[in-house]
A = this chain, B = another copy of it.
Amino acid sequence: MKRNTWQREAVRTALGTQMGFVSAQDLHSNLKGTGSQIGLATVYRALGDLATEGEADSLQSPEGESLYRACSTGHHHHLICRGCGLAVEIEADDVEQWAKSVAALHGFSQAEHVVDVFGYCSACVPAVG
């Protein structure tokens, strides 16, 4: 049976306060910054669990880091700021249809897709040029 620990809840709520995607390392730093004594490994485990249970959405940054975000809604994609992590949820039925049809067209089954857009939001663009 899975137990309720303050660590799990801490990660859950910390994720909720984030406005965008964050890495496990970042979230751990944030938690430590607020006085929490939670361990890094626990943050990794909690995030992994949340993602598995569908309470969090995960993706990989272009640099290869795993990023997480609280998310309870259904299938959708994200427009993510490389600077501050801000994530805008985007839906695109066109893309969904396209993915489905291109897979079928080539005889592929059990098709899933990865569709994410990365850039710099209007607030971060001045900081990078």
The chain A residues found within 8 Å of chain B, CB to CB, are 60, 62, 64-66, 79, 81, 88, 90, 92, 94-95, 98-99, 102-103, 106-122, 125
Q: Are the CB atoms of B81 and A92 closer together than 8 Å?
A: no
Query: Within 8 Å CB of A115, what residues of B?
Result: 95, 113-115
Query: Within 8 Å CB of A79, what residues of B?
Result: 102-103, 106, 108, 111
Instruction: Give Cα A109–Cα B103 distance, bound, in whole angstroms.
Output: 30
Check A113/B117 contact, CB under 8 A, given A98-B94, A98-B95: yes
The contact sample of 28 A-B pairs, CB cut-off 8 A, is A60-B64, A62-B112, A62-B114, A64-B64, A64-B65, A64-B66, A79-B106, A79-B108, A79-B111, A81-B108, A90-B102, A92-B102, A95-B98, A95-B115, A102-B117, A103-B117, A106-B121, A108-B121, A109-B125, A110-B119, A111-B117, A111-B119, A113-B118, A114-B114, A114-B115, A114-B117, A114-B118, A115-B115
